[in-house]
A and B are shown apart, each in its own frame.
Chain A
Amino acid sequence: DVVMTQSPLSLPVTLGQPASISCRSSQSLVYSDGNTYLNWFQQRPGQSPRRLIYMVSNRDSGVPDRFSGSGSGTDFTLKISRVEAEDVGVYYCMQASHWPPITFGQGTRLEIK
């Protein structure tokens, strides 16, 4: 199974400041078709998860452009250019390149400092 490791697990950020979350996989996430199926999700308190980024760097519809994804192989990053109050929640990376099973990172809790 592919193990997804996120860091940090807790991320206090000042409003308006940038934030960065790292996600590392135990093996390369490049699939046989050449694509990398690494996704990022946001889960606000009391809500269902919502996908923000798919295939490493593609923003989903309606996702603010302050969110960006990057990386390749085994190392990936979610960046928020300027944190807003509505960004509070838990962020998860997920791989679907080598499944079953589909695997998630442990989650990173973003809070306002």
Chain B
Amino acid sequence: EVQLVESGGDLVQPGGSLRLSCAASGFTFSSYWTGWVRQAPGKGLEWVANIKEDGSQKYYVDSVKGRFTISRDNAKNSLYLQMNSLRAEDTAVYYCAREINCGHWGQGILVTVSS
């Protein structure tokens, strides 16, 4: 069974940093693009970033470019999102999703940016 489990969410002050993790199991992690999608409270879904199977290509939504970094460790079956210079508008539930077409999702993790 495919499983994606996010961790690392927290309450952080504006300007602060946070690193999210996503532990994958039940499939060959190194064979899939993987990414992050977020959902602000009461709002819709917003794609954040994707990373290729071998980590050689990374893409971001404009609003996080230069602040967020997606990475992966295929030996650990793990995906990461380093978030710097956090803003109030980054407050959201962050989901890890397998494949460009988001065939599988994690349960999500809440990131709150507030003073």
Overall SS of chain A's interface: loop
In Å, the complex CA distance between A94 and B101 comes to 8
**A100 adjacent to B45 (CB under 8 Å):** no
Decide yes or no: A50 and B105 within 8 Å by CB, A100-B61, A102-B50 being known contacts: yes
With both beta carbons as reference points, the residue of chain B lying nearest to A100 in the complex is identified as B59
Query: B88 on the interface (CB 8 Å rule)?
Result: no
The smallest beta-carbon distance between B96 and chain A, in angstroms, is 10
**A102 adjacent to B47 (CB under 8 Å):** yes
In this complex, the interface size class of chain A, counting residues with CB under 8 Å from chain B, is 20 to 34
Across the interface, A101 reaches (CB within 8 A) one of B62, B104, B105, namely: B62
Query: A39 on the interface (CB 8 Å rule)?
Result: yes
The smallest beta-carbon distance between B94 and chain A, in angstroms, is 11
Query: A17 on the interface (CB 8 Å rule)?
Result: no
- Residue with the highest number of chain B CB atoms closer than 10 Å, among A48, A50, A104: A48
Query: B95 on the interface (CB 8 Å rule)?
Result: yes
**B95 adjacent to A104 (CB under 8 Å):** no
In Å, the complex CA distance between A55 and B105 comes to 18
Besides A49-B95, A100-B60, 13 other A-B contacts (C-beta < 8 A)? A37-B100, A43-B45, A49-B45, A51-B105, A54-B101, A55-B101, A94-B102, A99-B50, A100-B50, A100-B61, A102-B100, A104-B44, A107-B44
